[in-house]
Every structure is written in C-alpha cells, then in structure tokens.
Amino acid sequence: MKNILFVIAIFLSVPFFSQSAKVGSIDWKGVERMNINFMIDFIETKVNQPLDSIKLNNDVYALTRLNGISNVTYTVAKKDTFFTVTFQIIENWSLLPNVSLWTSAEASAAYRIGLFDYNFLGKNNTIGAYYQNNAVSSFGFFYAAPFLFSTNLGLEASFQKQSSIEPLFINTQPARYEYTNTGIELLAAYRIDFQNAIRFGVNVFSEKYQYLSGATANGVPQFLELTKTMLKSNYTYDNLKYDFYLISGIRNNFFAQYVFSSNNFQDNFKIAWNDFSYFKRLGNSGNWATRVRFGLSSNENTPFAPFALDNNVNIRGVGNLIDRGTGMFVINTEFRNTLIEKNWFVLQGNTFMDAGSWRLPGGNFNDFIDKNNVRFFAGVGLRFIHKTIFNATFRIDYGFGLTERSQGLVFGIGQYF
C-alpha cells in the first residue's frame, strides 16, 4: 500500500516540478557581431517556459549552423525555482574577400575577386558581389536574408551575368562556344523547424550561345539566344552536428527546376537531383564523409545538356568540363584526418574515391552501366583550415583515374562537399 501511495505522490508531483523548473533568464557570452535579439527569437528555449534539455541541444545544433557562429556550448544554473541558461558563443569572422586564381585552356591567368559578408547585421544575412575573368567577363550581386520577416521566413535575391568558353560535344566531336547567362532570381526561404527548410521562387534569364570553333552539324545552331523562366524549389533536411570543422550526422538536399521559354511555353525543360550526405566522427581526429548524388533531366538529344562531368563539381582529377549528360549518378567518399591542430589552425589530410556515370543526351538508362560512361578516380589531398573564419578551408586534391589515364590537381575554397 505504501508503494502505491508513493507512486501516486510522484505522479501528482510531476506537473508541479515541470511548472516550477522554468527558465528565468538567458545570458550570452562571447557575442561580438551576432545580434542578441535575433538569437533570442531564433532559439527554441524561452524565458518563463519550462527548462527542456532537448530544446537546449536543438538550439546548440541550430546556432552552430548559422554563418556567424563557429561553436556553441551552454551552462545551466539554478536560482530559487528558476534557471539561468548561459550560451557561450565562439563567433566566425564573416566579412571575407572572395579571391580565386587558376589556369584553363582559354586563359593562362583566370581570376575571380569579390567581397562577401556572410553575417550582415549579425542576423545570418549574406551580401556580396564578385567579378570574374576567364577569357570573358562575369559578375554577380547577392543578397540573402533567410530570416528577414520572421525566424522562419526570409528571401534571397541575386543578379548575375555569367560568361564562359565551354566545350560542347556534337556527335562526340568537341566544339567551342561562348556561353552567356544573364538573369535575376528571387526566392522565398521558409524554415519549417530547426532540421527542415524549403526554398522556392523564380529565375528570369537570357541565354546566348555563340559558336567559336570546332565541330558543326546540321540542326545545331552556331548562334542561339533565348529568354527563359525557371521555377525553382529546394527541400533540405539538415541533422548535422558541428564541432568546429568536424561534422557528424546526415543532410539531404532535393532540387527541382522547371524551365520554359518565354516565347513558347511548350518549349520546357525539367531538371531534378538529390544530394544525400553522411558524416561520421571517427575517434578524436577522424571524419568520414560521403555524398551520393543522383539527377535526371528532360532527355533531349542536345549538346547543351545540364549535367556536367567536371573536376570542380563531382569527380576530382577527371578534367574541366569534359562531358555533359541528361542524367548522373555520383558517389564521393573520403576520410579526413587531423594532422596538426594549433589554436585557430588545422591541417587535415584527405584520402578519397570518386565514382560516377552519366546518361548521354537522348540516351537510355543502360548508359549508367555502360563502361564507356563510368569513371573511377582516387586520390589524396590537404585541407588548410581556419577554425573561426566562415568557410575558411583551402583544399588541394590530386586525383588519378583507376579505369583511364587521367589525373590532375583540384584547388578550391571550402570542403569538396
């Protein structure tokens, strides 16, 4: 009987304790550029609400995904019947130049210069512009305020003129075209919760293809100009946990686009692809990372297919923009291991394997298993990382073909995926 009464007493006392264990105040330490009012609205933990460890952990995961924050910890102190929650913030330096220098077949010294603030006004906004010269000139302006209207609703806007000399393939023979894409884009961004978000909107753009040299064929224009409208959508599931540069968890990104010519609504083109990424901590210094990408588009027999086989996009060492297709399946997997860590600086070593296959324009699904379309590459690399500058990872990878004689160095800013 005493045991029954004890259980009943505990059961009746649960509401009392959950009611009294409330958050009395939220303090912030280490804040310099981040907007405190924005963070108070952003987190799930609220003053005068019951203290909840699940919400606190969710807040840590969500805050560390913001551009302006490198790391977050918290402490809880009890005073009378209330608790004080203190978040300790380590911020990222987020006002950064955007500088790249590389060589290509078209330009002995191609470059890109720009300036971006990835935490404008301390509210995770991005604003910036760039100029690029790769035998032809390009430029762009960007503004993204994902929490402009509320902690769940924002927008992104951009204007870009992108030009390049691109190899296209006409009956397997290469041709050189100057490609120019000039467009304006407006997207709405909605955060469903701290793990799920959607983006959708429109991009109005013009495309120009100007033939320069190489193969020609009847039915393939030497000059083409179209005004098009693209409807875009993106769904993201993000369950990643960050410890500075080390990552664990999964992330999935699904993209869908519908393109039609403004002059002819029936002239449409559909594109969809999915990126699934998995990260696992191995010991104190190891990080295994894997990305699986699968995409399909309208299967037109055209040299202007949307998916490109390229060093900087999907397979390291294969070369710059060597082929195009209307479908792709790519797996990238790598092991990152910390070699040196000193205060703000980290040197990572990297071993990787990239594999992929393509559906040729106008082809069929058997193209994915055709040995002529399958690529296997492996390699090693280095990562030079600044722990408290946003996306400050300089990478060098050397990839070599396992099924063909191809190799090359790949440079970039940020992890490959």
Q: What is the pLDDT along the chain (417 residues), one digit of tens a residue?
A: 444 443 333 334 333 334 458 999 999 999 999 999 999 999 999 999 999 999 999 999 999 999 999 999 999 999 888 999 999 999 999 999 988 777 666 666 788 899 999 999 999 999 999 999 988 999 999 999 999 999 999 999 999 999 988 877 787 788 899 999 999 999 999 999 999 999 999 999 999 999 999 998 888 888 988 899 999 999 999 999 999 999 999 999 999 999 988 666 456 889 999 999 999 999 999 999 999 999 999 998 887 788 998 888 899 999 877 888 999 999 999 999 999 999 999 999 999 999 999 999 999 999 999 999 999 999 999 999 999 999 999 999 999 999 888 888 888 889 999
Report helix, strand or coil for 21: coil
Give the helix/strand (H/E) hosting 53: helix 53-64
The answer to whether the CB of 116 falls within 8 A of the CB of 142 is yes
Q: Scanning the structure block, which residue is given the tokens 């304006």?
A: 184
Output b/e per residue, 346-359; b: 16+ Cβ within 10 A.
Answer: bebebebbbbbbbb
**How far from chain centre, in Å, is Cα 326?**
22
326 backbone φψ class: left, alpha, beta (φ>0; ψ -120 to 50): alpha
Give the helix/strand (H/E) hosting 59: helix 53-64
The answer to whether the CB of 72 falls within 8 A of the CB of 90 is yes
Q: How far apart are CA 391 and CA 414, in angstroms?
A: 5
* pLDDT at residue 391, as a whole number: 92
Q: How far apart are CA 53 and CA 388, in angstroms?
A: 27
* Amino acid residing at 368: F
Q: How far apart are CA 408 and CA 312, in angstroms?
A: 11
Q: How far apart are CA 212 and CA 164, in angstroms?
A: 12
Question: Residue 309: what are its φ and ψ, rounded to 5°?
Answer: -95, 115
Q: How many helices (H) and strands (E) does the chain have?
A: 3, 22
Q: How far apart are CA 6 and CA 17, in angstroms?
A: 16
* pLDDT at residue 392, as a whole number: 92
Q: How far apart are CA 144 and CA 127, in angstroms?
A: 7
Question: Residue 144: what are its φ and ψ, rounded to 5°?
Answer: -130, 125
H helices of 358-406, where?
none
* pLDDT at residue 243, as a whole number: 93
- Judge residue 214's burial from the number of C-beta atoms within 10 Å of its C-beta, 0-12 exposed, 13-18 middle, 19 or more buried: middle
332-to-242, 355, 369, 416 alpha-carbon distances in Å: 20, 7, 17, 9
Output b/e per residue, 222-240; b: 16+ Cβ within 10 A.
Answer: eeeeeebbbebebbbebeb
pTM of the model: 0.85
Output b/e per residue, 14-42; b: 16+ Cβ within 10 A.
Answer: eeeeeeeeebbebeeeebebbbeebbeeb
Q: How far apart are CA 333 and CA 182, in angstroms?
A: 34
Q: Scanning the structure block, which residue is given the tokens 């952003």?
A: 42
Q: How far apart are CA 239 and CA 194, in angstroms?
A: 9
* Amino acid residing at 360: L
The residues with which 117 forms a beta bridge, in sequence order, are 95, 127
